[in-house]
Amino acid sequence: MKDLKKKIEKLLKDYLFQYGFRKERGTVYSRLEDEIKEGLYFGSSAHNEKHVCYLTYTAGFSCPVVEEVAYELNELVGGLGMNIGFLMPDYFFKEWRFAIDNSDEYIQYQVSDIISTVLEYAIPYFRKYSTQENLVYGLETRELRCSNGVRDIYLPILYYLRGHNAQAYSFVEEVIKRRTLDFPIDEYKAMQVIYGEEAIQIPPNKELDSYLPFAEKFKKMIEAEKS
C-alpha cells in the first residue's frame, strides 16, 4: 500500500503544483489567493477492504486576517469547506477507489479525474468567496455552509475588519441571546418540580459558556477603540 500511496501522492503533487498549490503538511495542499487561503485536504479509508484505498478530499479555505484577530483574542477558529462531492451536481460524498493491483494507467486516470474536480468545482468555489465582501454575504445568507461555531466568530470579526464596529458588537450580542434562549432551562426547571432538584441537575449551557470568553474580549476590543 505504501508504494500505491506514494504514486498517488506524487501525481497529485505534480498536478496541483501547476495550479499554484503547494504541499503544506501531510496530505494538505494550499495556496494563497486574494484574501483567502485555499486548501485541499485529502484523506483516505479502506472501508474494511484489503489492499484498497478510497481517496477523498475537502475543499476548504480560511481568511488569514480573521484568524489573526481571533488569535489575538486567544480564540481558535475553524476553517470553512466541504467534501468535494457536495459541490458537484449529484451532491453526494465523493471518493475514488484505488487498489494495490491497479495499473499505472488506471492510477493516472483516477488522479486526473480528481484534478478535474479541483478545476471544475473546488477552484470556482474558492473564487466565489475570495473577498471579504463575498465571504460576509455567504455567511449572512447561509449560502456558505458551516457550523454556528465558525459563523458566530467569523462574521463579527469580518464586520470589524470592514469598519462596521456597531454591527459587529450587535451580532455578538445576538449570538449570546440566541445561545441563551436555545438552552432548555424551562424544561429542566419543570422536571425539577416533578422529580426534585436533587434528582434533576441543570447542566451548564456549554454553547453559551464556550462563546462568552471570545464575546467578552471582542466587545472590550471594540469599546476600547471608541475611547
115-124 contacts at long range (C-beta below 8 A, 24 or more positions apart): 115/12, 115/15, 115/16, 117/84, 117/88, 118/16, 118/19, 118/40, 118/59, 118/84, 119/19, 121/59, 121/84, 121/87, 121/88, 122/38, 122/40, 122/59, 122/84, 122/87, 123/19, 123/38
C-alpha distance across the termini of the chain, in Å? 62
**% of the chain residues with pLDDT over 70:** 100
Whether the Cβ atoms of residue 76 and residue 70 lie closer than 8 Å to each other: yes
Q: Which helix (H) or strand (E) segment is 200 a member of?
A: none
SS3 (DSSP) at 63: coil
Chain-centroid distance, C-alpha 8? 25
Question: How far is residue 11's CA from residue 33's CA, in Å, rounded to a whole number?
Answer: 23
Between 83 and 198, name the one with better pLDDT.
83
Lookup: cell for 98:
484505488
Q: Find the helix packing angle between 64-72 and 148-161, rounded to 10°.
A: 100
Give the least confident one: 16-30, 122-136, 190-204: 190-204
Whether the Cβ atoms of residue 87 and residue 58 lie closer than 8 Å to each other: no
pLDDT tens per residue, range 99-125: 999 999 999 999 999 999 999 999 999
Q: For the chain, give the mean pLDDT.
A: 93
Sequence-ordered list of residues with C-beta below 8 angstroms from that of 123, at least 6 positions apart, any chain: 19, 38
Predicted local distance difference test score (pLDDT) of residue 89? 95
Question: How far is residue 25's CA from residue 108's CA, in Å, rounded to a whole number?
Answer: 23
Per-residue pLDDT band at 201 (split at 50, 70, 90): confident
Task: With CA atoms as reference, report the closest residue to 150 among 63, 70, 80.
Answer: 80
Per-residue pLDDT band at 227 (split at 50, 70, 90): low
Cα torsion 19, 22, 28, 32: sign: negative
